[in-house]
Each structure stands twice: as C-alpha cells, then as structure tokens.
C-alpha cells in the first residue's frame, strides 16, 4: 500500500474515521492495530479519532501513565495501550488483552516494539514527522484495511 501524507490534524482525523468505519463494518471478533513512530507523531491523536468515530462520545485519556485504558460501548471493547513508559514489557499480561468477551474487541497498541513477545496484528501503521505534517506507512495483514491509502479525502 502507498504511504499517506497527512497534511494536518484534520487529515489524521479522516484516517481515524476511515479506520473506524472499517472496524464497525467488519465481522471479526478481535482486531488489533499497532502504532509505531516517534513521540508526537500522532499515535494517541489517531487512536482518539478512531474511538470517537466508532461512537465513543466522552473523554479519551492518553494511557501514557496508566499503560492501558479500556472503553466499553455499543457491544465493543476497546483496549488502548501505550508501552512507552514501561521497561517491563511483560506488564502487558496484567491487562489480559486476550480475554474472551461477548462482542467485538479492538486492541490498539502504541510502542509495540516494546513488547517482549511480539503479538500478531491486523494492521501496523508507522507515523513519521514530515516537516509540519506526518507521513503514514501501512503494514497490512488483514484485507479489511486495504484501500486506506486511497481514501483520505
Ligand atoms: N497530520 C498531522 N500534521 C501535523 N500535526 C499533527 C498531525 N496529526 C496529529 N498532529 C498533532 O501531533 C500531535 C501528536 O501528539 P500525540 O498523538 O500525543 O503523539 P504520540 O502519541 O505519537 O506521541 C498532536 O498535538 C496533534 O495535534
Ligand atoms: Mg501517545
């Protein structure tokens, strides 16, 4: 898939909206997205946009200190993880990400490179600084996400 130039906040928001639409439409029980990229490239910003466009209308906190934030709504369980501040990557076990639930589970992990045991993902997005904009590149393992690069208008 092509890289996407995200000119400003609103372009990142559109990407988040397009991802949310795909998540809501898909029939998979579990979908996992990994977000790579330096500090400030927009990983949390993109996750907030995905959550809001999936129907979460309340506040979204960054999990920088808590490591994991959970959101339950509309038969969805959203787990947002940020591993930046942990050196104990096995800490992630306490969040029981692989629990069985009724409904759809969406897992988003910032700084997945800190995982001690790599986890399979449906899509990995790498965000990079590009002057005042951002560039997103995609590693897609689940075809539901194909086409995201062509649909950012
Ligand atoms: N396409 C973009 N171009 C410029 N700035 C952006 C873009 N997308 C998001 N941002 C900004 O980048 C910052 C990213 O912060 P954050 O999401 O906390 O980064 P990270 O979680 O990767 O450390 C936010 O202030 C947001 O407004
Ligand atoms: Mg972040």
Residue 55: domain span: 4-142
Gap between the terminal Cα atoms of the chain: 17
Pairing state of beta strands 68-73 and 76-82? antiparallel
Cβ neighbors of 10 (< 8 A, separation 6 or more) are: none
Give domain status of residue 150, yes or no. no
Are 106 and 23 spatial neighbours (Cβ–Cβ below 8 Å)? yes
Interhelix angle 43-53/9-25, nearest 10 degrees? 50
User: What's the total number of domains in the chain?
Assistant: 1
Give domain status of residue 22, yes or no. yes
Give domain status of residue 66, yes or no. yes
Of 45, 80, 83, 127, the residue with max ligand 1 atoms within 8 A of its CB, to mutate for a pocket test, comes to 45
Mean pLDDT (the chain, rounded): 93
Interval between CA 131 and ligand 1 midpoint (Å): 12
Helix (H/G/I), strand (E/B), else coil: 65? coil
Give domain status of residue 126, yes or no. yes
Interval between CA 61 and ligand 2 midpoint (Å): 10
pLDDT score recorded for residue 147: 87
Burial of 2 (0-12, 13-18, 19+ CB in 10 A): exposed
Give domain status of residue 149, yes or no. no
- At 79-104, the pLDDT tens digits run 999 999 887 766 778 889 999 999 99
8 lines ligand 1 (CB under 6 A): yes
Return phi, psi of residue 37, to 5°.
Answer: 135, 155
Per-residue pLDDT at 153 exceeds 80: no
pLDDT score recorded for residue 152: 66
Strands (E) located in the chain: 4-6, 30-36, 68-73, 76-82, 104-110, 123-130, 133-140
Lowest mean pLDDT among 35-44, 79-88, 120-129: 79-88
CATH number at residue 76: 3.40.50.300
Give domain status of residue 153, yes or no. no
Give domain status of residue 55, yes or no. yes
């Amino acid at each position: 898939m092509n890289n996407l130039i995200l000119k400003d906040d609103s372009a990142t928001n559109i990407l988040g909206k397009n991802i949310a639409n795909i998540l809501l439409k898909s029939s998979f029980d579990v979908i996992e997205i990994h977000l790579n990229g330096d500090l400030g490239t927009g990983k949390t910003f993109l996750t907030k946009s995905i959550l809001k466009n999936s129907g979460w209308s309340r506040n979204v906190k960054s999990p920088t200190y808590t490591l994991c934030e959970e959101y339950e709504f509309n038969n969805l369980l959203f787990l947002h993880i940020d591993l930046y501040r942990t050196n104990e990557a096995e800490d992630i076990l306490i969040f029981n990400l692989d629990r069985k639930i009724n409904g759809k589970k969406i897992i988003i992990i910032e700084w997945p490179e800190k995982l001690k045991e790599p986890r399979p993902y449906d899509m990995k997005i790498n965000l990079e600084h590009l002057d005042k904009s951002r560039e997103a590149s995609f590693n897609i393992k689940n075809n539901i996400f194909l086409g995201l690069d062509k649909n950012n208008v």
